[in-house]
Amino acid sequence: MPARIHRGTPENLRRLARVLRRGGLVAVPTETVYGLAGNALDARACRRIFRAKRRPAHDPLIVHVADLRTLDLVARPNDAALRLARRFWPGPLTLVLPRTSAVPAVVTAGLPSVAVRMPAHPLLRRLLRICGLPLAAPSANPFGYVSPTTAGHVREGLGRAIGHILDGGPCRHGLESTIVDVRDPARPVLLRPGVITAAQISRVLGVRLRPAARRPTARAPAPAPGLLDRHYSPRCRLVTHRRITAAMVARAPGDEAWICFRRPDWAAPRGNVCWLSATGSVREAGRRLFAVLRRLDRGAWRKIHAEPAPAAGPGAAINDRLRRAAGRR
């Protein structure tokens, strides 16, 4: 039976909180993408997340908390982490910190650290308060596929693997959270870019963020998810270009689709050209990226071409997702 989509009524939130307390799974809206949530303190529930997504055990989960008291339950925050939390939480920022013994090893891929954030979506915040649990919640889609930004996307991908989806409407940002490793406050590491930028974080901490030093593997997992060379990927082959031009489109076969960052003047007559923002808004482009990739992937296209966003600010997050989506199979 396909997963049931629930409106965010008080009665439904209480019903879904009972599902979570019993060790079940619920797909939930966040301001970034939809997540597949389970009790982060229950190893069996978290193993159900891995099975539903067909997710490898070496890719850790992000734990979502309602407040700083729950943060203390799952992690050992330092002063740098608390400064970032006070500035950006609730919001799309994930912090990697030493974990406590309350967090099962399955959540963290056996590592002594945990990735944790406080989401801003009002429905998820209510659900967190009602169920009284920290929730482990990776993106609610089959592992490696394009992330879901609507309840319908979740049902398309996981509708027969899970029972419940909480509908919170389209996601506000449409890109996964920024992830920063702050276990060493003097040497914070940017693991994944997001709508909260490295420059914003550096201003709060007073130090410049370092890039991630290595690629994760099964033997040496990364402390946070979303860092594999190939991720967020459509089934159709995706190729990136520095810029898409009318001449490129005209020369290409008709069974190829094109994603421009901004609406080009020459695109109107063609049905195989789309864009992420009519006006060139980076935030609009981020909000639409995964939905556009999913729509094209449902078509009969042999190949999808895409061009990057301006690299400044949140554009770095869009380009990171495009690069990984186009990674080697």
Identify whether 92 is preceded by a cis peptide bond (ω within 30 of 0): no
Confidence of residue 1 (pLDDT cuts 50, 70, 90): confident
In 3D space, the residue among 247, 241, 236, 233 whose CA is nearest the CA of residue 261 turns out to be 241
Q: What is the C-alpha to C-alpha distance for residues 261 and 280, in angstroms, rounded to an integer?
A: 7
pLDDT tens profile 163-188: 999 999 999 999 999 999 999 999 99
DSSP state of 102: T
> What is each CA distance from 234 to 30, 141, 154, 287, 289, in whole angstroms?
22, 12, 15, 17, 12
Within the chain, residue ranges assigned H as helices are: 10-21, 43-53, 68-74, 79-88, 122-131, 151-158, 198-205, 246-251, 282-297, 315-325
pLDDT tens profile 124-153: 999 999 999 999 999 999 999 999 999 999
In 3D space, the residue among 192, 179, 157, 164 whose CA is nearest the CA of residue 293 turns out to be 157
Domains recognised in the chain with CATH numbers: 4-211 (3.90.870.10), 237-325 (3.40.50.11030)
pLDDT of residue 230: 86
Q: What is the C-alpha to C-alpha distance for residues 10 and 169, in angstroms, rounded to an integer?
A: 16
pLDDT at 329 over 60: no
Amino acid, single-letter form, for residue 61: L
pLDDT tens profile 37-60: 999 999 999 999 999 999 999 999
pLDDT of residue 70: 97
How much of the chain exceeds pLDDT 70, in percent?
Answer: 97
Q: What is the pTM assigned to this prediction?
A: 0.95
Adjacent-strand bridge partners of 320: none
pLDDT tens profile 69-112: 999 999 999 999 999 999 999 999 999 999 999 999 999 999 99
The first and second tokens of residue 186, run together, are 């003097």
